Amino acid sequence: MKRKVKAVSGLFIVVCVLSLAVLVGLHYMNSKGLEVVVAEDRSVGVKMSGIHYSSTRDGKVEWVLDAKSATAFKRGERTLFDSVKLVFYASDATTYKLTAKEGTVDEKLGTVEVAGDVHVESLDGTYSLKTEILNYSSEMKRFETDLPVEILASGMDVTGTGLMIDIDRGWLKVESDVRAVLSDGAL
């Protein structure tokens, strides 16, 4: 049970850090005069490429965000990322990595969506989540997808369709077509 709570917490932290990194990274890069492209699409405010941003606290790196490009729209409510990779270093020394083909942060709605080969894993190999789209709502403090998911944990493999993770309540629910395989060591 502790592993599930740790895994859910790690996933929550990764998506929250991704949201924060988006906002802080755009502000920082724009203020440093990094490559800013004036787009022909009038709704686009700033478009940047080759994004690499990290955050440190008390001399320790907390997370590192890399993306091929980012597009911020003029109203400042939505930012799109291409080829997202986020590495988060948790306080318990666990390292998590999230990768996705793209990500969208909607600041007004308080939502984050990562899409395309979404993969979240602890680098120690104890936890992994795969799906095509993963949504996070800051208001509900909930992760959701209606698509197939695959969760691999030490001694347990779970597949199914639809996923809901409630951070406040500390539970994870696979909605339908659930198949769980436990290894001998997990029993």
DSSP string, 10-64: HHHHHHHHHHHHHHHHHHHHHHTT---B--SSTTEEEEEEEEEEEEEETTEEEEE
Going from N- to C-terminal start, the domains of the chain cover 2-140
Q: What band does 151 get if pLDDT is binned at 50, 70 and 90?
A: very high
Q: Which fold would CATH assign to domain 2-140?
A: lipopolysaccharide transport protein A fold (2.60.450)
Q: What are phi and psi of 158, to 5 degrees?
A: -125, 130
- This prediction has a pTM of 0.69
Q: What band does 37 get if pLDDT is binned at 50, 70 and 90?
A: very low
User: Comparing 50-59, 94-103, 145-154, 168-177, which segment has the lowest mean pLDDT?
Assistant: 50-59
pLDDT at 139 over 90: no
